[in-house]
Chain A
Amino acid sequence: MTTFSVAQEGPLNALALNSTNTQVVIGGRNVFKVYQIEEDKFREICNLRTLKHLNLNFSCNDITWSPSDDHYVATAATNGHVCVWNLTKMGRAMQEQDYQDHKRTVNKVKFHATEPFKLISGSQDGTMRYFDIRMKNAVSVFYSNTESVRDVQFCPHNSYVFSAVSENGSVQLWDVRKPDKSQHQFTAHSGPVFACDWHPEATWLATASRDKTIKVWEMTGRPTLEYTIHTIASIGYVKWRPSHKYQLASCALVIDCSINIWDVRRPYIPFASFNEHRDIASGVAWRGDPNIFLSSGRDNVLYQHSFSDAQKPASKANPQGITLNTKGEVVYSKKVNNTITSTNSSSQNSLSKAVGLMRKISTSQPIDAFHLAWSRTYNFNPNNVEEQESSIFIKLAKSYILHGRSVSELCDHNSAVATQFGKNDIAVTWKIVKTMYGEEFVQNSMNNPKQEEGSCSALEIPDEQKSKGAETPAAQFSGGDEETENEDQVDNAFPNYLNVRNGCLPRGDFFFGENELDVELDGAPIFMDYYQYGYRMNPTPSEQIDWTVPNEAFPIRHEILDRSPPPEQFPDHLHTINLREEQSVQVKVDDQLPGMLVNVKQCSKPSWDPSPIVIQTLHHYATLGDIQTVACILLVLGESRKYLAGLSENLQEHWLLGYIELLSKYRLWNISNQVIKLAWLPSVSQLNQMSTTMNTNCGKCMKPLQRVGWLCDRCHTSENALCSICHQVVRGLYVWCQGCSHGGHIGHLKQWLAQKRVCPTGCGHMCEYIDN
């Protein structure tokens, strides 16, 4: 039961087994041999081409071995002869008959399965001839009325009937007794039919064609098409597999060197595939056993194949597919496991429905699930849409403010936004960013040696605001307002900013404050808090300085110096805060003395740099895939990015591009464009300056407008580019119909097309406005 082979001198055209399946004869242009098939090898018995006087009779297109008399082999020779060979004789006497009836190449010879000495041939000359090998001449001639006959096969169910297929795509059924007219003729394929084979039990005929299909016909009565197998190449040979009702073997004529075994009920993928041949296979012969067959190939090799060495393409085929989209939805399709579904009564219906697609299931067939393969596809949609990561992403993207205010303000706002959408860890990160890079801090310790004043003013904002109104803070933060924000916005922004502070300051302020800070200030009346703070700070400025400086500056630094937990551990707020408190207490104890002694010097020249930790934080979020936080922090930092030494431009670009990519996946074009606009890297900021040219046509002559502006070269006027409705020059968004080139103000046209379909200019074009 193994695969073995023997190489020949030339390509093989055909092979035939003897009645006991122990010997094989092979033939080709330069090969004509008989082999004994042994356990693991072929043993040559006879080489008919060793004779002298070789002629074309020794070059065969096809071979058949008499099933009733092991001595006789017949060949179809390329010179149009049909030769009968007696293997028991020697020398020239071997060739018992040499029928020269055909005018052209003989494509096929076949011994009758039950009638001894009876032989049929089919030729390129369009005729079939029936021989009795005891007689010198053909018994009868059948004219197919086609150009050439490619295959003839006796029907195993009716000893008088044989089928013939021809190059015009037709199949004919003949009765050997009635050579004058075929019994049936029908067009089976849209191309030449190269082979046919009768099913050994059923009344099926398989036909194979250049049209890349194998078709199975029910031949009782009027032939009907039962199955169609689509193959990747023209099929030159087809043979039913013994004792497997639905299986047949096929060989391609071109491209595909493998021998495929198909289950006709699953006509899409071979049940098994044998890929040993290096060139196309020309013939297949089953050795009685359905698991062993021989094949001849144009690669000069004769093979015995065993099913134990078969490739099963279907088993390698991936039975499942899955895909995720931006909204967290999943589409999952999987092969249905038939053993499970058949026991599951609720799925029974759907199974039988699917089975209905595969026609004609034999219930007596042993369980063979190969052909029952089908898939179910599921779409999983997260049903609490609002809590989905994706929708939070979108909400954050829409709510974050990335520019136009001071870093502190932006951080506060964004922190509040993050809190609002349940992203507490991110909120805290914003707070920390604020603490480190907010104007207050930068003024305090990064640049400004007069940190006391800075810190005071920062801390006093709420207080001053209460007493003096909005002027001071607005003025203070005007540094960030380089964009064209008008007064209204600033005014609006301020209360906003205050609210933000209200919501979040207690927690953030804790860094500035003392150990005993109460976490539960969160929702408390904030102004009261500020009163408290202010109350504590303001009345005694001298005391305030004493109190503020060491406690403000030191714990922050040391806390981080001491590897305070990076933000990823923040979800556990209470714990973190406790830790902080402990640390700050500890730090305080450690540093109290030097702090008191050299406090100004310490503050003015910070001994540490928060950047590595911030970079680490950004890396952390990037690792988690939260590129939104990373990119937004970078954007908000603005000029302070210069402190993030060691962050390569490539990586910054990567982060921005990552965020832009994500925004575009959610179709958040405006935000994406804002990011591009704010980008400080030329490679990113240039993204929205590419492919910005839109060409439109002159509304009158349809000539493309190629100049700057609306001037048409042909009409020498720009009149036709005015808004079709108000006849004014359009500044800003111009919309036009690509069909008739007329357009104008988007609002006007939207309004017009909401009611009418015709172009407002009266050109008669049916414009369509699709509003996404």
Chain B
Amino acid sequence: MFECQEISAEHKDLIHDVSYDYYGDRIATCSSDQYVKVWDRNKEGKWTLTSSWKAHSASVWKVTWANPEFGQVLATCSFDRTVAVWEETVGDTPGPGKRGQRHWVRRTNLVDSRTSVTDVKFGPKAQGLQLATCSAEGIIRIYEAPDVMNLSQWTLQHEVQCKLPLSCLSWNPSPNRSHPSMIAVGSDEPHTTPGGKVFIYEYSENSRKWNKLETLNITEPVHDVAFSPNLGRVFHILGVATNNVRIINLTPVEDSQLSGLTKLEIETAAQFDDHNSTVWRVCWNVNGAVLCSTGDDGCARMFRILSKTSWKPEGVLKGEGNQVPTAVEAAHGATQHIPQGSPVGSIASQTARYIKLGSISQPSREPWY
């Protein structure tokens, strides 16, 4: 079971993105109300607002954290056609007993796009400080901060033209040196077009260009794509949120060294229609074994890998705070180390927003880190 705690984010409009930082200790939220908020846990473990600022002059679509190696850095993208990079600074007033006030400073504003910037993501740490953005005009832009200590200087390294308006972007996080940098983008173009709406691009060291490697044959509007963390797989897994959840294996094929371009073998590992409605988001757990998706049915659903080509639904998180174990999960319960329990229908009441389901760990137990 999960216990559910509602965070009253108090954004004045829709929240479009939430994002944990690298360690999972902080949350950033962004909303159409043009604000970005950063949350930290207080001593009781409750999320409290640390910072809130007007980041853009239009809806903020996405917020994403950089690797902490580069500092406490966020990037946001907005309907106002800009991308901003923010850094948290601590004011220079370290008096006794009180810390300096923290605040977020805009380090740069990237204004190359002529239309809404729909997604922004930091590249894998190994490649330094890179930022990829995609926009409604169908252009992927790759920026780089040549000096990681200077977040105000970014150079536009690449502009890659796609034909369709883009809605989402994901870096392949694989640290394997035989896997070149790879980006997947998706388009939410509403009309069914031949060809597909997810494109895989790969950076070629030889030509110093991003080349389109593949087009995935998904014809429905795509709202989110997410590469699984690749800690040691020889193939990549891409989660796609469209009218359903799709899990796609991309296996690099070895024998094309001559052409300089890797080839991918594409295979749909699983497809889940459980949401029975538009699926908006997909995200991965830390080791890439569980995919979590959210849809218009108001549920977050989890799927677990069993083998390269087999996945199973693992659980459902309802907004109101209970996890409903699926039949499959119940059947496999004995071998799974996943939370178990009968669904508890919790009532979202005004006074008791914090609902405890079962006991939590004893305070005497050692913390995890």
Contacts and interface: CB of A to CB of B under 8 A. Distances in A.
Interface residues of B, number: 97
Size category of the A interface is 35 or more
A452 B349 CA distance: 73
A231 B56 CA distance: 10
23 contacts: A230-B34, A255-B81, A266-B13, A268-B32, A269-B58, A324-B283, A324-B290, A333-B15, A334-B294, A346-B347, A357-B12, A375-B14, A380-B3, A382-B3, A383-B1, A383-B359, A385-B360, A387-B337, A568-B307, A654-B177, A654-B230, A662-B287, A683-B177
Contacts of A619: 234
Interface stretch (A125-133, A140-148, A544-552, A663-671): A663-671
Interface string B161-204: 00000010000001111100000000010000000000000000
Nearest to A375: B15
B262 interface: no
B326 interface: no
A386 B367 CA distance: 10
B319 A376 contact: yes
Contact of B2 (A377, A381, A394): A381
A321 B17 contact: yes
Contacts of A657: 175-176
B57 A212 contact: yes
Interface in A356-390: 357-358, 373-390
Contacts of B358: 383-384
B20 A323 contact: yes
- From DSSP, what is the main secondary structure of chain A's interface residues? mixed
B335 A571 contact: yes
Contacts of A589: none
Nearest to A268: B32
Given A651-B178, A653-B177, 16 more contacts: A231-B57, A316-B188, A318-B223, A321-B294, A324-B285, A330-B292, A331-B18, A333-B9, A378-B5, A386-B365, A388-B339, A624-B307, A648-B178, A666-B368, A666-B369, A667-B23
B4 interface: yes
A569 to B, nearest CB: 11
Interface stretch (A20-28, A76-84, A625-633): A625-633
A625 B308 CA distance: 11
Nearest to B58: A232
B12 A739 contact: no
Interface string B343-369: 000011110000011111100010011
A630 B321 CA distance: 36
A702 interface: no
B308 A324 contact: no
Contact of A231 (B24, B58, B96, B231): B58
Contacts of A269: 13, 32, 58-59, 79
Contacts of A346: 347-350
Contact of B319 (A332, A358, A659): A332
B298 interface: yes
Contacts of B307: 568, 620, 623-624
Contacts of A329: 20, 24
B102 interface: no
A657 B178 CA distance: 13
Contacts of B338: 389
A316 B23 contact: no
Interface of A: 212, 230-232, 255, 266, 268-269, 313-314, 316-335, 337, 346-347, 349-350, 357-358, 373-392, 394, 422, 568, 571, 619-620, 622-627, 630-631, 648, 650-651, 653-655, 657-659, 661-662, 665-668, 683, 739, 757, 766, 768
B292 A324 contact: yes
B305 interface: yes
Contacts of B285: 324, 328, 389
A320 B29 contact: no
B116 to A, nearest CB: 7
A318 B4 contact: no
Closest 9 A-B residue pairs measured CB to CB?
A: A325-B24, A658-B231, A625-B289, A622-B232, A625-B287, A232-B80, A654-B176, A375-B15, A627-B231
Contacts of A384: 1, 339, 358, 361
Residue of A212, A326, A332, A631 most packed against chain B (CB within 10 A): A332
B144 interface: no
A346 B360 CA distance: 27
B321 A321 contact: no
Nearest to A340: B298
A624 B305 contact: yes
